Structure 1
């Protein structure tokens, strides 16, 4: 048999194993509210090839691919346990088992590693929590996709309604079409039908009411059977407490803003300060996409090296706020054609750092350039550190943070030497460290951080909503703090 034959046979064997993993992963998710991960990447509703590609990511740990032949025994062991709602990382299980020297069987090791989610220790499944989207633009539709995707078990978050201004004939059909197909993020994964008579979009069996209103005061959500809901404002029209409080109508308990909050509105970056949210807080912000991109790695660098000062330059994709062609705009430069120009503009991300990281005393400045790409941006974070270090040390540290730290859902890491912006469309992380571009000289470190300013940010929004809803289930094996 030739080398080519051996490689193909090996691939077919791994395909078969990955195929057999799918029903096990699906059953755990539907019946027990268990999300199976591989190094913080969900394997729920993934294809055979997607599962194999996700396993290949693990080559960043020890320079070699993690095979499904190694993780399948752990998945089988999980199905035999009395598991409660949780997230379980097969990659972490396999990695820790390889380092364990006690001679335990895979079944024994797995039972011990996830003991907090089994038997008398397991938490109860939460009742579904209603969610309303106010606005249905770029972020609103991506958040809708994520909420529908995560509704598989019937528990957790349940998208009940979207609120928009009336758009004329076939409004709901056109909005459903925009949810179904996206020029950047591709096709919706599932089926969408429209019930025009009842003003409802049905996506993967989820009935989502479309409510038409010009102002929050016009809606009583209890009329639609909505109770104690979390409303996600995607419009950015109201950004202070007084304005956002207008959403606290009958049926709405909390309001989450997908833009930087003003005044005393808490700006939350999941993974960094989400645990500071007070239980009785009704108004909060998820800050900006750029704030979410820079704050986690900034915290990681400050924790390890100390940060004395910093500057962030964001090279940001254009947005709907800009004009396609030169035309009037209230901002001086944003009126120039977005697809034809690089446009210098301001960013509030640097000043927002203080809200998310109040213990960071280092001054952080910032500026931004909009460029002619529709999605994925890069933040260049230039830091003066409190001690000297080396490129190799920072490289290994950030890689470990992305794989094993409490920030692993926020910070990703790529060693691809040919990586470009479009490679990160659909990334679920807040930012991705580009290892090849990293520069370190004594006490100066320059980090290049890619981020999908649409989808990655939407994932952060959903994580915050899960947290305040009480449906953010613990992850096993536990990550050392």
Structure 2
């Protein structure tokens, strides 16, 4: 047999194993609210090839691909346990098992590693938490996709309604079509049907009521059977506490804004300051996509090196706020055609850092250039550090942060020498460190941080909503502190 035939046979064998994993992963998710991860990347609803590629990602951790034959026994062991709602990382289980010298079987080791989620220790399933989307634009539709994807057994977040202004004939059909197909993020993974008579969109079995209103005061959510809901405002029309309080109607308990909050509204970047949310806080903001991109690596650099000052320059994809062709706009320059120009504008991300990182005393300035791409941006973070270092040390540190720290869901890391912006469409991280572009000279460091300003940000919004709703389940094995 030739080498090529050996490689092909090996590939087919791994495909077969990955196929056998899919129903196990799905059953754990649907029936027990268990999300199976592999080095912090979810394997739920993933294809055979996606599962194999995720195993290959482990090369960044151990220098070699994680064998799917190595992780399957841990997955099988989970099915034998009285496992409660949790997230279980079979990549970390395999890695820890390799380092363990107690001579335990895979089943014994797995039982011990997830003991906090089994038997008398397991968390009981919580009732599902209602979610309402106020506005259904770019972020609203991506958040809807994520909520539907994560519905699991139905005991987590449940998208119950979207609130929009009436758009005329076939309004609901057109909105469903925009959810079904997206020019950047591709087709919706599942089925969508429309019940115009009852003003309902059914997506993968999730019945979503479409409510038409021009103002929050027009809606009584209890009339639709909605209670204690978390309302996600995607319009950005109201940004202060007074304005956002309009959403606190019958049936709504908390309001989450997908834009920078003003005044005393907390700006939350999950992974950095979400633990600071007070249980009785009813109104909060998820800040901006750029704030979410720069704050996690800024915190990481400050923790290790100290940051004396910094400047962030964002090269940002154009947004719906700009004009397709030259036309009046209340802001300077933004009236010029977005697909034809680079447009210098401002960013509030630098000033928002103080809200998310109050202990950081370093002055951070910022500016932005909008460029003719539809999605994925890059933040160039220039820092004056508290001590001298070198490029190799900084890259190794950030690589480790992306793989092993509490910020690993926020910070990703790439060494690809030919990566360009479109390669990061669909990234679930809030920023991706580009190793090849990183510059370090003594106490000066320049980081190039890619981010999907639509999808990566939407993932951060969902993480915040999961946290405040109480359906953010613990991860096993417990991540390093």
TM-score normalized with structure 2 length: 0.99
Q: Which whole-Å CA distance do the structure 2 matches of 1:96 and 1:398 have between them? A: 22
Q: Deviations over 1:102-131 (max 9, x none)?
A: 322222221121111111111111100000
Q: Deviations over 1:146-197 (max 9, x none)?
A: 0000012111000000000000000000000000000000000000000000
Q: Report what 2:414 is aligned to.
A: 414
Q: Report what 1:102 is aligned to.
A: 102
Residue 118 in structure 1 maps to residue 118 in structure 2: yes
Query: 1:35 aligns to what SS in structure 2?
Result: strand
Residue 192 in structure 1 maps to residue 192 in structure 2: yes
Q: Which whole-Å CA distance do the structure 1 matches of 2:82 and 2:305 have between them? A: 42
Q: Which whole-Å CA distance do the structure 2 matches of 1:480 and 1:64 have between them? A: 22
Please report how far the alpha carbon of residue 302 of structure 1 lies from its aligned counterpart in structure 2 after TM superposition. 0.7
Query: 2:380 aligns to what SS in structure 1?
Result: strand
Written as runs of structure 1 = structure 2, the 5 A alignment for 1:49-198 is 49-198=49-198
Instruction: Report the RMSD for the aligned CA atoms in angstroms.
Output: 0.7
Residue 266 in structure 1 maps to residue 263 in structure 2: no
Query: 1:412 aligns to what SS in structure 2?
Result: strand
Residue 449 in structure 1 maps to residue 449 in structure 2: yes
Q: Deviations over 1:394-415 (max 9, x none)?
A: 1111111111111111111111
Q: Which whole-Å CA distance do the structure 2 matches of 1:378 and 1:294 have between them? A: 10
Q: Which whole-Å CA distance do the structure 2 matches of 1:360 and 1:476 have between them? A: 31
Please report how far the alpha carbon of residue 467 of structure 1 lies from its aligned counterpart in structure 2 after TM superposition. 0.4
Residue 346 in structure 1 maps to residue 346 in structure 2: yes
Please report how far the alpha carbon of residue 63 of structure 1 lies from its aligned counterpart in structure 2 after TM superposition. 2.1
Please report how far the alpha carbon of residue 99 of structure 1 lies from its aligned counterpart in structure 2 after TM superposition. 2.0
Q: Which whole-Å CA distance do the structure 2 matches of 1:290 and 1:280 have between them? A: 27
Q: Report what 2:224 is aligned to.
A: 224
Q: Report what 2:290 is aligned to.
A: 290
Q: Which whole-Å CA distance do the structure 2 matches of 1:442 and 1:103 have between them? A: 47
Please report how far the alpha carbon of residue 353 of structure 1 lies from its aligned counterpart in structure 2 after TM superposition. 0.4
Q: Which whole-Å CA distance do the structure 2 matches of 1:280 and 1:180 have between them? A: 36
Query: 2:17 aligns to what SS in structure 1?
Result: helix
Q: Which whole-Å CA distance do the structure 2 matches of 1:151 and 1:62 have between them? A: 33
Please report how far the alpha carbon of residue 98 of structure 1 lies from its aligned counterpart in structure 2 after TM superposition. 1.7
Written as runs of structure 1 = structure 2, the 5 A alignment for 1:202-351 is 202-351=202-351
Q: Which whole-Å CA distance do the structure 1 matches of 2:102 and 2:74 have between them? A: 17
Query: 2:408 aligns to what SS in structure 1?
Result: coil
Q: Which whole-Å CA distance do the structure 2 matches of 1:340 and 1:227 have between them? A: 46
Please report how far the alpha carbon of residue 441 of structure 1 lies from its aligned counterpart in structure 2 after TM superposition. 1.1
Q: Which whole-Å CA distance do the structure 2 matches of 1:96 and 1:105 have between them? A: 13
Query: 2:4 aligns to what SS in structure 1?
Result: helix
Query: 1:30 aligns to what SS in structure 2?
Result: helix
Q: Which whole-Å CA distance do the structure 1 matches of 2:324 and 2:70 have between them? A: 50
Q: Which runs of 5+ in 1 are unaligned?
A: none
Query: 2:163 aligns to what SS in structure 1?
Result: strand
Query: 1:54 aligns to what SS in structure 2?
Result: helix
Q: Deviations over 1:225-247 (max 9, x none)?
A: 00000000000000000000000
Q: How many residues align?
A: 481
Q: Deviations over 1:344-372 (max 9, x none)?
A: 00000000000000011111111100000
Residue 34 in structure 1 maps to residue 34 in structure 2: yes
Q: Report what 1:427 is aligned to.
A: 427
Q: Deviations over 1:260-307 (max 9, x none)?
A: 000000000000000000000000000000000000111111111111
Q: Which whole-Å CA distance do the structure 2 matches of 1:359 and 1:457 have between them? A: 23
Q: Deviations over 1:328-386 (max 9, x none)?
A: 10011000000011000000000000000001111111110000000000001111111
Residue 459 in structure 1 maps to residue 459 in structure 2: yes
Q: Which whole-Å CA distance do the structure 2 matches of 1:104 and 1:393 have between them? A: 36
Q: Which whole-Å CA distance do the structure 1 matches of 2:346 and 2:36 have between them? A: 40
Q: Which whole-Å CA distance do the structure 2 matches of 1:122 and 1:446 have between them? A: 45
Q: Which whole-Å CA distance do the structure 1 matches of 2:98 and 2:474 have between them? A: 23
Please report how far the alpha carbon of residue 100 of structure 1 lies from its aligned counterpart in structure 2 after TM superposition. 2.1
Q: Which whole-Å CA distance do the structure 1 matches of 2:305 and 2:130 have between them? A: 42
